[in-house]
Amino acid sequence: MKLARAIHFDESDMNVFAKPARTGEWCVPGGFEFSDWGEGDLVGKARQAFANGWLGLETFGRVTFVAVTQVEASEVEVLERMLAEHFVVYYGAPSAEAALPVAREEIGHMAELCDEHDPNTLLTVARELTEAGVREVFRVIEPQDAGLEQFAIHGSLDE
């Protein structure tokens, strides 16, 4: 099974999200957070989280890019329980047991997104509010082999 982990290429997520996800934590789209939002909610850092933030499953912070990788079944069970507890604490689910099927569905959706992609494939999410609710679109950035020119140093040692 595959899921995706938060990845940072620079420090921008630390500045644009109110609560940034930690590099390496497992993520899901997390669009459920915005299910009852309207235009008035889309301001400042909340707007950025809505527009393109994945939800980290440890910090429950947001990140712009995630990278596909293998996950162990035992890790998935822990993630499902963490997300179910989050639903209890922040969304009023009556119990972790009652929230567990929803958490499994959310993580299953992420696994479906990742399943057909090679490890290290990057994913982004873009959201918009529509009359029908939140619309999510996912973009795939395939891993590239690094060419030598990316590492070559150009210049002269004589200067």
> What is residue 158's predicted lDDT score, i.e. its pLDDT?
47
Cα three-residue angle 124-24-64, rounded to 5 degrees: 25
Q: Where are the domains of the chain?
A: 2-150
pLDDT category of residue 39 using cuts at 50, 70 and 90: confident
pLDDT category of residue 139 using cuts at 50, 70 and 90: very high
Q: What is the mean pLDDT of the chain?
A: 90
> What is residue 149's predicted lDDT score, i.e. its pLDDT?
42
- The residue with greater pLDDT, 156 or 20, is 20
Percent of the chain with pLDDT over 70: 91
